Copies of this chain bind each other. A is one copy, B any other.
Amino acid sequence: MSNEIRVFCPATVANISCGFDVLGLALETVGDGMVVRKTTHPGIRITKVVGQELPLEAEKNVAGVAGLALLENLGYQEGFEIEIHKKIKPGSGIGSSAASAAGAVWAINYLLDTPLNRTELVNLAMQGEKLASNVAHADNVAPAIFGGFTLVRSYHPLDIVSIPAPKALYATVIHPQIEIKTADSRKILKTNITLAQGIQQWGNLGGLVAGLYTHDYELIGRSLEDHIVEPIRSILIPEFKTVKEEVKKAGALGSGISGSGPSIFALSKGEKTAQRVAQTMKDIYETTGLDFDIHVSPIGTEGVKLI
């Protein structure tokens, strides 16, 4: 058993249109790196952060808090050092904090010979998410740990359903470099919806889950609708409507807001279409003068993994 491992911590897309607060997916090729090693010092030490300014104090660092929650849960007396190689930008809406929290608990659990299952890891990683956004939500950490698509059926008790992604499904994500805090983005949501809106949403959610199991790409596309959150949140995202219309014309199955934004995701069948969608997003955003990143990736089959 090695005392040190290097892991890949995937970026994730939460909500996925009709799955507000319950669905998420992991990306295969976009994510952070993390090195975790056993030490005899008790607790968690963040020894290095590359690529971003993040606190080194474990109690103020998402990976640190998640790791500490795990150590406390197991009553473990020694400790771990964590090096974080950050590539996912904070506030991007593709699960920057979730990647760190998920990576830390997954790696420590691995080095301890996996005493905890994946749902238990999600539960602990949620402590890291709580530090980042004041809400211990699971819609990013669940796919970061399980890979593929995940559905958070319930929080009490935590019940995660892992849904494998069809092989040819690709995500294209554009991250406009403007800042939207998750907290702000939650604030503008309405507390009530109409029953009719709810029916429409759970009809689409059911269609999306069915489409994933039956590899019915057309059904997946038809189900990528959100008449509740998207109309409200999208006003914070420049060119959202144009991107949505144009990526559809470029062949995307559908698109929506990634997490609480500002990133916009699109799903496509096949890499070629996903690249064409990326080009379409690029063309639109180049006219805005805003900085942006674009990622194209298959849906990840695993979540956090050894590299």
A contact residues vs B (CB 8 Å cutoff): 18-23, 151-154, 159, 161, 163, 189-195, 197-211, 213-214, 219, 222-223, 228
5 CB-based A-B contacts, threshold 8 Å: A21-B199, A154-B200, A161-B207, A189-B195, A193-B193
Q: How far is the CB of A100 from chain B (nearest CB, A)?
A: 25
Closest Cβ neighbor of A196 among chain B residues: B191
CB within 8 Å for A206 and B21 given contacts A193-B198, A194-B191: no
CB within 8 Å for A153 and B222 given contacts A161-B210, A205-B206, A213-B210: yes
Q: Which of B152, B190, B228 is within 8 Å of A203, CB to CB?
A: B152
Residues in B whose Cβ lies below 8 Å from that of A200? 154
Residues in B whose Cβ lies below 8 Å from that of A213? 209-210, 213-214
Q: How far is the CB of A191 from chain B (nearest CB, A)?
A: 6
Residues in B whose Cβ lies below 8 Å from that of A210? 151, 161, 163, 209, 213
Residues in B whose Cβ lies below 8 Å from that of A219? 153, 161
Residues in B whose Cβ lies below 8 Å from that of A161? 206-207, 210-211, 219
With A19-B202, A163-B210, A209-B213 known, 6 other A-B pairs at CB within 8 A are A23-B206, A154-B204, A154-B222, A195-B228, A197-B198, A206-B208
Residues in B whose Cβ lies below 8 Å from that of A207? 151, 153-154, 159, 161
C-alpha spacing A223/B211, complex, angstroms: 19
A195 and B190 contacting across the interface, CB-CB below 8 Å: yes
Residues in B whose Cβ lies below 8 Å from that of A208? 206
Residues in B whose Cβ lies below 8 Å from that of A199? 20-22
Residues in B whose Cβ lies below 8 Å from that of A191? 194-195
C-alpha spacing A118/B285, complex, angstroms: 44
* Nearest 3 A/B pairs, CB to CB: A153-B207, A213-B213, A202-B202
B151 and A206 contacting across the interface, CB-CB below 8 Å: yes
Q: Which of B152, B201, B206, B214 is within 8 Å of A198, CB to CB?
A: B201
Q: How far is the CB of A119 from chain B (nearest CB, A)?
A: 13
Residue of A189, A192, A194, A202 with highest tally of chain B CB at under 10 A:
A202
Q: How far is the CB of A166 from chain B (nearest CB, A)?
A: 13
A18 and B163 contacting across the interface, CB-CB below 8 Å: no
C-alpha spacing A21/B204, complex, angstroms: 12
Q: How far is the CB of A150 from chain B (nearest CB, A)?
A: 10
Residues in B whose Cβ lies below 8 Å from that of A222? 153-154, 159
Residues in B whose Cβ lies below 8 Å from that of A159? 207, 222
Residue of A152, A153, A199 with highest tally of chain B CB at under 10 A:
A153
A203 and B163 contacting across the interface, CB-CB below 8 Å: no
Residues in B whose Cβ lies below 8 Å from that of A154? 200, 203-204, 207, 222
Residues in B whose Cβ lies below 8 Å from that of A223? 153
Closest Cβ neighbor of A161 among chain B residues: B210
